Amino acid sequence: MAAKIPDRQVIDPRLIAATRDLELVARKLVAGVLPGMHASRQPGLAREFSQYRAYQPGDDPRHLDWKLYARSDRYFLRESEIETTVTIRLLLDATESMQHADTAGPGAGLRKFDLARVVAAAFAWIAQAQGDPIGLHAVSKGGVVSMPPGQHRQLFERIVSTLERLEPAGTWPADPRSIAGVFAAGARTIGGADATREITIVLTDGHEHADEIRAALAPLRSRRHEILLLHFLGRDEIDFPFHGPIRFEEYETGAVLETDADAARAAFLADQDRHIREWRRAFEGERFHYLRLRTDEPLDRALRGYLLQRRRR
């Protein structure tokens, strides 16, 4: 029997910043998120058995629940057992803006990118433990570093190694078709009419100049394609804890703005709130999930909430 994992913070930003062993940190994060470390038989990031379904002509009889048949004299299939493996793709924002780090608080000096690649490695670990194909597409320097989905342990190790070497630089590609192209490679239809073909986990700060991120994600919202958008935001962006004269420099363009922080606070926070609402509104709908991750809060708290919600579906 797996030991019960206490509902508490198991990993904090300082631990992430202090180690270079990304797989170790990812495993610690997973240990605090999942109720045990055993590999699940269910595909698609820790889903559990949901319901029975009456047998229909054409169903594979190997998935019949014979114990239930003995009690009811009727044929039923367990829904979780007839689902096929779901492909997991990680779309990681490795552009210059992910260099952002808070100036104070628990996450001071910790870049958004440091957190994002830990979360990416954690999801990769869950996928490979469950036998789900996992792939990585990192957007950096106007292009995409792509590792098509696969199921072998060596691919997981390559993904972790790539995440460890990556450094945020450049911008998103101006042409969204460059991202759509790498997703089209190896795409395949899996399962029945209501199955989810793929799950794409997008890890980004949402920083864009002309809706290039939203344009890149739009083609992914096809039928049976699920998207989880992890939106990384810093304490500085949410609380704006600045006072007096201040100088801002935009990472990706070098544009400079000098202003008085106290006078600009209300307008900045209103603009930030609008930005977040626009992101949610742009993609709300079936098979889309939005999760905000603050750089100054424990990662396991937000991820646990998402995975528990997913188990209930």
Q: What is the per-residue DSSP string for 135-165?
A: EEEEEETTEEEEEEEE-SHHHHHHHHHHHHH
CB 119, CB 226: distance < 8 Å: no
Q: What CATH number belongs to 13-36+84-312?
A: 3.40.50.410
- Record the tokens describing residue 274, joined without a space: 């609008």
> Alpha helix (H) ranges present in 20-111?
22-33, 66-72, 79-82
Cα–Cα distance measured from residue 307 to residue 42, given in angstroms and rounded to the nearest whole number: 13
Per-residue pLDDT at 18: 58
Cα–Cα distance measured from residue 269 to residue 275, given in angstroms and rounded to the nearest whole number: 10
Strands 225-233 and 198-204: parallel
Per-residue pLDDT at 140: 92
Please, where in the chain does CATH 3.40.50.410 lie?
13-36+84-312
pLDDT string in tens for the chain (313-residue length): 333 333 334 455 556 655 667 877 777 777 766 643 333 444 455 444 455 667 777 676 777 778 777 777 778 776 554 445 678 899 999 999 999 999 888 888 889 998 899 899 988 988 887 778 899 999 999 899 899 888 778 898 999 999 989 999 999 988 877 787 777 665 554 444 444 578 889 999 998 888 888 888 887 766 567 888 899 999 999 999 999 999 988 887 788 889 999 999 999 999 989 988 888 887 776 678 888 888 888 777 777 777 766 665 5
- Record the tokens describing residue 198, joined without a space: 């793929």
Residue 144 φ then ψ, to 5°: -135, 125
The kind and range of the H/E element at 89 are: strand 87-93
Cα–Cα distance measured from residue 126 to residue 156, given in angstroms and rounded to the nearest whole number: 10
Residue 77 φ then ψ, to 5°: -115, 145
Residue 151, classed as helix, strand or coil, is: coil
Give the count of alpha carbons within 13 A of 176, CB side only. 12
- Record the tokens describing residue 237, joined without a space: 């962006």
Give the count of alpha carbons within 13 A of 27, CB side only. 12
Buried b (16+ CB within 10 A) or exposed e, 34-45: bbeeeebebbbb
Residue 187 φ then ψ, to 5°: -65, 140
Per-residue pLDDT at 40: 41
Closest CA to 299 of 24, 5, 32, 100: 32
* Token pair 């801002």: residue: 248
Per-residue pLDDT at 189: 44
Per-residue pLDDT at 136: 95
